[in-house]
Amino acid sequence: MNEQELKVIFEEKFGQGGDIRTYFAPGRVNLIGEHTDYNGGHVFPCALTIGTYAVARKREDRVIKLYSANIEHVGVIESSLDDLTNKDAYHWANYPLGVVWAMIEKGSEIKSGFEMCVWGNIPNGSGLSSSASLEVLTGTVITDLFGIDKTMTELALIGQYSENNFNGCNCGIMDQFAVAMGKKDHAIFLDCADLSYKYASVKLDGAKIVITNSKVKHSLVDSAYNDRRNESSQALADLQTVCGISTLGELTDEEFEKYGSAIKDEVNYRRAKHAVAENQRTIKAVDALNKNDIETFGKLMNASHVSLRDDYEVSCEEVDFLVETEWSVPGVIGARITGGGFGGCTVAIVKDEAVENFKETVGKAYKEKYDLDAEFYVVDIGDGARRLS
Ligand code: ADP
Ligand code: MG
C-alpha cells in the first residue's frame, strides 16, 4: 500500500471530489533514555521513514468519519464534534477522536466535521509508537484542514494530553515529540524537564539501526507503566526530604549515591537508580555519538538494557532472550529493549556486513526457543509529521 492506494480506499468509502489531502506521521525508535521522560530526564529518539499515512477532507456538517485500512473489520467509525467521549465501540478511533477533543479543550475552533482514512506500516503495540504517530498525524490533519495555527511542539503536547486524558495512558512527552519534530538522519536529544532539544547527526559509518519485533506484548503494559510512574514519584518524594530537587533527572550518579539512602522502599530505590543512571547514560551516549565514538554508544545501550531489566523491571523473558542473543552476534555494536517494555521491540546497532547474519542467527534462536517469528526492520531516520499533498 502507498498513499495513492489509500486515496482510492478513501474515495471508495467517502466518495470522490472536493479538496482531498494526504499526510504522513512517522513512528519512532528511542536509541537510549528509556523511562526518563516522565522523570524529568533526557531521551534520544529518532523518527523513522515508516509510519502512518492519512487521506482527509473537510465536511459541511459536524460529523467525523474515520476508517483504518489496518483494522478493516471495524469499518467506518462515525462520531460528531458534539459528542466527543471515549467509547469502546470506537475502538482505535478513540485516538484521533481524543486529539479532536484535546484541540477543542485547548481552545481551537474546529469549524466542521471531516473524514479521514489512515493506514500505517509500523507494527501496532510494539513500542515504535504507532499511537503517537496516529495522534500527531490527526493533529497535523486538523490544523491543516481548518487553518489552525499550532507549532509542532504544541501538536506533540496535544497528542500527549489526549493520550493521558482521553485514552487513559499516562505517557510522557517523548513519543509525540519525536513524531512531531523528527529530522532526517538526526536523533533528537530532548531534555524532558523543559522541552529544550538539540538535533544530533546519526552518521553510523558502516552500521545500521536494526529493530527486532519480539511479537509479544504482555497485558500488564499500561498498568505497569502507571505503577512505574508512581514508584518513581514516591522515590522522588523521599529524596526531596534530603535534597532540593524537583525531578529525578536533576541528580548526578554521585548525588544519587549520597542521597539515595533516603528512599525507604527497596523497589522504589531501584526505580530511581535506573531513572538517574539512565539519564546520565543518555547524556554520555550523545556526547560519544557527537565524537563519532559508536563503540561507547553501543556499550551504553547495553548498560541501558541491563538497568531496564534488573532495576526498572520493564523487560520480559522473550525480549531479554532476544537482546542477550543479539549481544553474542559478531558485528553488534549495542542492543537494548526499546519503548515502554513488557514485550515489543529491541533496537540494535549492527555493522553493515553483519546484518544478514544478525537476522538469521537471532531469528533462528528465537524461533527455536519460543516458536515465534521475530520480525526485523533495518530502518532509516526520517522527518517528522507533515502534509504530503
Ligand atoms: P505503540 O504506540 O507502541 O504502537 P500502543 O498500544 O500505544 O502501542 O498503540 C497501539 C494502538 O494505536 C493500536 O492498538 C490502535 O488502536 C492504534 N493505532 C496505531 N496505528 C493505527 C492504525 N494505522 N490504524 C488504526 N489504529 C492504529
Ligand atoms: Mg503508544
pTM of the predicted structure, to 2 decimals:
0.96
Question: Which domains, from first to last, does the chain contain?
Answer: 3-202+383-387 (3.30.230.10)
The answer to whether 307 and 282 are in contact (CB under 8 A) is no
Evaluate if residue 221 carries a pLDDT over 80.
Answer: no
Evaluate if residue 220 carries a pLDDT over 90.
Answer: no
Residue pLDDT, tens place only, 313-360 = 999 999 999 999 999 999 999 999 999 899 999 999 999 999 999 999
Enumerate the H helices of the chain as residue ranges.
Answer: 3-14, 94-105, 130-145, 152-165, 174-181, 221-239, 253-259, 266-290, 294-310, 317-328, 355-370
Q: What is the DSSP letter of 360?
A: H
Phi and psi torsions of 100, nearest 5°: -60, -50
DSSP symbols for 204-219: -TTEEEEEEEEEEE-T
Residue where the block lists cell 473489520: 73
CA atoms of 253 and 279, how far apart (whole Å): 9
The answer to whether 384 and 188 are in contact (CB under 8 A) is no
Q: Which of 131, 160, 162 to mutate to test the pocket of ligand 1 (most atoms within 8 A of CB)?
A: 131
Start-to-end CA distance of the chain, whole Å, equals: 17
Evaluate if residue 292 carries a pLDDT over 70.
Answer: yes
9 HSE (CA, 13 A, CB side): 23
Mean predicted confidence (pLDDT) in 146-172? 95
Task: Tell me how crowded residue 244 is: count the other CB atoms within 10 A of its CB.
Answer: 7
Mean predicted confidence (pLDDT) in 240-249? 97
The answer to whether 35 and 227 are in contact (CB under 8 A) is no
The pLDDT value recorded for residue 225 is 86
Q: What's the pLDDT band for 142 if we cut at 50, 70, 90?
A: very high
Q: What percent of the chain has pLDDT over 70?
A: 99
CA atoms of 193 and 128, how far apart (whole Å): 22
Residue 223 CA from chain centroid, whole number: 17
Residue pLDDT, tens place only, 168-183 = 888 899 999 999 999 9
C-alpha 70 – ligand 1 centre gap (Å): 10
For 327-358, letters b (16+ CB in 10 Å) and e give eebebbbbbbbbbbbbbbbbbbbbbeebbeeb
Query: Is the Cβ atom of 312 under 6 angstroms away from ligand 1?
Result: no
Q: Which of 68, 74, 134, 177 to mutate to test the pocket of ligand 1 (most atoms within 8 A of CB)?
A: 134
CA distance readout (Å), 86 to 95, 119, 256, 341: 9, 21, 41, 25
Catalytic residues: 175
